[in-house]
């Protein structure tokens, strides 16, 4: 079977439409576009167990208020805070204004220093493959439903 054209790590199981071009990708990469075709129901089912092990991380959307609140709770000024974090004050101001999003690595450091939660696991939508499938083939969702009966 061909390899995934996006990550190259897994075998391609579905064809997705990404801005007009078709790519053969594995189920974990299928969220990058609209699924147009399922190669094999069984192989995508098997692949699904692996997608859980490769979660994607992102910085929470209310990072700005979280950072500001925890800094204020600790009674720190921007100046104290910048020395503690070894970041420029302008960077901290931008985080707190919500105009600059810290990277996941930086957010993890902030989590440790401030004792707050800034990084979340992006849940890969399992339904994405089935709900966007346009083909008449048995979709993953149908397959699961049939097996449950």
- Looking at the Cβ atoms of 76 and 124, the one nearer to Zn ion is 124
- Looking at the Cβ atoms of 26 and 114, the one nearer to Zn ion is 26
Residues 97-126 that bind Zn ion (CB under 5 A): none
2 touching Zn ion, by CB under 5 A: no
What is the tally of helices (H) and strands (E) in the chain? 7, 5
DSSP state of 93: H
* Total residues in contact with Zn ion, by rule CB under 5 A: 6
Residue 118 contacts residue 59 (beta carbons within 8 Å): yes
From CA 138, how far away is CA 115, in angstroms rounded?
47
Interface characters, 20-39, with Zn ion (x: CB under 5 A): -----xx--x----------
CB atoms within 10 A of CB 127: 9
CB of 119 to Zn ion, least distance (A): 23
7 touching Zn ion, by CB under 5 A: yes
* Residue partners of 77: CB distance under 8 A and separation at least 6: none
Q: What residues make contact with Zn ion under the rule CB under 5 A?
A: 4, 6-7, 25-26, 29
């Amino acid at each position: 079977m061909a390899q995934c054209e996006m990550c190259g790590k897994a075998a391609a199981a579905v064809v997705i439409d990404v801005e007009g071009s078709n790519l053969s990708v594995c189920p974990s990469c299928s969220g990058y576009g609209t699924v147009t075709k399922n190669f094999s129901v069984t192989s995508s089912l098997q692949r699904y167990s692996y997608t859980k092990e490769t979660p994607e991380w992102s910085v929470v959307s209310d990072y700005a208020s979280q950072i500001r609140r925890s800094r204020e709770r600790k009674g720190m000024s921007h100046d104290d805070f910048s020395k503690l974090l070894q970041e420029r004050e302008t960077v901290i101001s931008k985080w707190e204004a919500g105009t600059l999003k810290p990277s996941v690595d930086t957010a993890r450091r902030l989590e440790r220093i401030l004792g707050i939660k800034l990084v979340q696991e992006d849940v890969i939508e399992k339904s994405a493959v089935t709900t966007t499938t346009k083909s008449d083939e048995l979709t993953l969702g149908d397959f699961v439903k049939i097996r449950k009966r």
